[in-house]
Copies of this chain bind each other. A is one copy, B any other.
């Protein structure tokens, strides 16, 4: 008890979990899976990688215990192992945003100029939903809407938005939302 080899092995175990997140493509997978379960081909499409490579990354995540699978017909669905994984992902993003020197520039390059958008706080949004003077649009993929969404929101995935824009009412304000601070669907939608 308490010997060096055992301590190394234990902390290597902690490091294994970090190693699973230590790849940009796997980080994207976690970010997508935080919205709900998806199958391999969808995930490959989300991260723009081959199905084989995506499957490999998912296996890496699975063997670190971050994701689990479920079979339905002949599709295999992956989902996060628990909400704790979301907490870990959030903590990682927070630390990166706070301390990683280049992250501001990277985020700006991907997200564009956010200051040209109008933001709506959570409290304000729920007040206005209750008052009925706003239409909320969920611009995430249909699978993520199906896995859970803001009550009363309408699903219009980003790629269908141009076609369905005319169906939205003219006389009330429209609010678009997506996955979180590092998701551009809503920005594009506006």
Contact = CB atoms under 8 A, between A and B. Distances in A.
Interface of A: 1-4, 6-19, 21-28, 31, 48, 64-66, 81-82, 84-85, 87-88, 91-96, 98-103, 106-107, 109-113, 182, 184, 187-188
B95 A187 contact: no
B11 A31 contact: yes
A135 to B, nearest CB: 23
Contacts of A113: 1
Given A7-B110, A13-B106, A15-B27, 20 more contacts: A1-B113, A1-B188, A6-B109, A7-B184, A9-B24, A9-B106, A9-B109, A10-B106, A10-B182, A11-B27, A12-B24, A13-B24, A14-B24, A17-B92, A64-B100, A65-B96, A82-B99, A84-B95, A87-B91, A87-B95
Contacts of A87: 91, 94-95
Nearest to A107: B10
Given A15-B22, A112-B1, A91 B88 contact: yes
A13 B103 contact: yes
Q: What is the total number of copies of this protein in its complex? A: 2
A16 B100 contact: yes
Contacts of A187: 1-2
A9 B109 CA distance: 9
Contacts of A22: 15, 18-19, 21-22
A6 B112 CA distance: 10
